[in-house]
Structure 1
Amino acid sequence: MARLEGRTALVTGAGAGIGRSVAERFAREDARVIIADRDADAAASVAASIGERARAVVVDISDESSVEAAFTEAAADGWSPDVVVANAGVQLFGQDAKAADLDLDVWRRTIDINLTGTFLTVKHAVRAMLASDGGSIILTGSPTGLTGEGQDFTAYSASKAGIHGLTRTVAAAYARDGIRVNTVVPAYTETGLVSTISDDPESRAAIVSRIPVGRAGTPADVEGIMVFLASSDADFATGALFAVDGGMTSL
């Protein structure tokens, strides 16, 4: 039996990168999948490629009315999710910087999308799950929120550290309601989000040299742990950070 048979998942940022890879894997594990992304064309394309087990919804995670509408529409159509992956985010290369050099508008934009957007996704996921039989919420973290890896990305690092803290707080608050909350911490993963690094051989080599297994991560590297956390195999796992980083945070 597929591990996610009978489940419905909503994945934010599923139009590309890690979000798309996870959504496609969930569908292969027999989950129904809501492809949530602010890019309508990308969301529709991914949903179409998956087929009848997927549907697309346009969501701006920094706008609560947009997030709330997505969950309300899903419930009205019988697609209320019991798995939510809060994955959408930004990393503003060329704008994020060391603290003394960081523009306030860049800080605010990053926090609004990465941290506030994740909070809003979690908030409405919890509300949906309280109305049913609980579920699993999975957040996407980063080594930058755990170590000094993101010293040149103050806003991004702070937003991810906030996500790690949010995981523990919400997990503790709703554990007795059958709602599990965990964070997956990938290493440097090559997607369109980090093309500034991947397209620069020197920068890429520098960051890969800090990953003990000796290579960059791929979206596919994250799929397995996401499936585990979404499944009943992880029923006793909540409030935890799961590093899938090639040993990067072990240094």
Structure 2
Amino acid sequence: MSERLQGKTAIVTGAASGIGKQVALRFLREGARVAFADRDAEAVTALVADLGEGARAAVMDISDEASVAQAMEALVADGWSPDVAVVNAGVQLFGHDAKAADLDLEVWRRTIDINLTGSFLTIKHVVRAMLATGGGSIILTGSPTGVRGEGADFTAYSASKAGMHGLGRTVAAAYARDGIRVNTVIPAYTETPLVSTLTGDDEARTAIVGRIPMGRAGSAEDVEGVMVYLASDDSAFATGAAFAVDGGMSTL
């Protein structure tokens, strides 16, 4: 492993499973100290138990500002102020999210509260910490549904991700001169527990993979490599950008 993140401290939200977990583990292997942040205290605590002193759990409900603020204050107080933040935690309420005319308001609110408001609250408190230390890199996990009409049956999720993309661009512009970079990674079909819930069966999976020019689904490893680049100093002049990790789907 190259240890491209040696000397850096990172926080990754939604780190108890899926892409967040894989990215956090990769950052560790690349030499960073990593705060694994998740609202599932039991899962995230168990995950970091055997990872050594370079990993710690940060129990955080991103939709609750007091929870985010307390977790960030604890990290800063312990000398873990982040150089890198991966804003990854989110939900997609399969079986409940729907076309606009059929969408229940509570499903809309819960999705927006976690995906968009939660991203804002995480960014807000991460930016405050980074301003005090001279900057850093913030990486958002976006979605194709946030940039094109891929999610006709997922109104709340698509809207939340579109808002996240806009939020990222705005924060990037606002804090560029403060040394804070903000970029978005856009995975397409990636083999994670969340996406497996969407496909449900081999026929559905085959249909989705058939639309990918590279002819295969993405993996967490595909996504984490781009995130390592954005977390590292190699991407020092990249901000406000969106990086598609979708096997060519964005070319269609």
TM bracket (short chain) = over 0.9
Please give the secondary structure, in 2, of the residue aligned with 1:217: coil
Counterpart secondary structure, 1:56: strand
Q: Which secondary structure state, in structure 2, belongs to the residue aligned with residue 138 of structure 1? A: strand
Partner of 1:143: 144
Question: Which segment is superposed worse, 39-48 or 156-165?
Answer: 39-48
Q: Which runs of no fewer than 5 residues in structure 2 stay unpaired?
A: none
The reply on whether 1:11 has 2:12 as its aligned counterpart is: yes
Work out the number of aligned pairs and report it. 251
> Structure 1 CA distance, aligned partners of 2:146 and 2:163?
8
Q: Which residue of 1 aligns with 2:116?
A: 115
| Aligned counterparts of 2:247 and 2:150: Cα–Cα separation in 1 | 14
Map 1:232-243 to 2 at 5 A.
Answer: 232-243=233-244
> Aligned partners of 1:246 and 1:52: how far apart in 2?
36
Query: Deviations along 1:83-138, whole A, 9 cap, x unmatched?
Result: 00000000000000111111111011000000000010111110000011100000
Q: Deviations over 1:12-47 (max 9, x none)?
A: 000000000000000001000000001112211221
Q: Which residue number corresponds to residue 59 of structure 1? A: 60
Distance of 1:204 and 1:103 partners within structure 2: 27
Q: Bigger CA drift: 39-48 or 161-170? A: 39-48
Displacement after TM superposition at 1:212 (Å): 1.1
C-alpha distance in 2 between matches for 1:50 and 1:141:
28
Output the CA distance in 2 between the equivalents of 1:126 and 1:166. Answer: 13
Letter of the structure 2 residue corresponding to residue 145 of structure 1? G
Give the secondary structure class of the aligned counterpart of 2:125.
Answer: helix
The residue correspondences of 1:146-161 to structure 2 (distance < 5 A) are 146-161=147-162
Is 183-192 or 85-94 further displaced after alignment? 183-192
Which sections of structure 1, spanning at least 5 residues, go unmatched? Answer: none
1:49 Cα offset (Å): 3.8
Structure 1 vs Structure 2: percent identity of aligned residues? 73
SS at match of 2:93: coil
Q: CA deviation at 1:194?
A: 2.1
Q: Secondary structure at the match of 2:53?
A: coil
Partners in 1 of 2:50 and 2:163 — Cα distance?
A: 34
- In structure 1, C-alpha distance between the alignment counterparts of 2:43 and 2:214, rounded to whole Å: 32
Cα deviation for residue 233 of structure 1 reads 0.4
* Aligned residues of 1:190 and 1:198 also touching (Cα < 8 A): no
Give the deviation of 1:192 after TM superposition: 1.5
Q: What is the CA–CA distance in structure 1 between the aligned matches of 2:182 and 2:205, rounded to whole Å?
A: 32
Matches within 5 A, 1:196-207: 196-207=197-208
Asked if the contact 2:94–2:198 (Cα under 8 Å) also holds between the matched residues in 1, the reply is no
- Partner amino acid, structure 1, of 2:15: A
- Tell whether the 8 Å contact from 1:180 to 1:239 is kept in structure 2 after alignment: yes
C-alpha separation in 2, matches of 1:174 and 1:239: 10
Whole-angstrom distance in 2 between the partners of 1:69 and 1:243? 33
Q: Separation in 1 of the partners of 2:164 and 2:3?
A: 30
What's the counterpart of residue 36 of structure 1?
37
SS state of the match for residue 131, structure 1? helix
C-alpha distance in 2 between matches for 1:173 and 1:156: 26
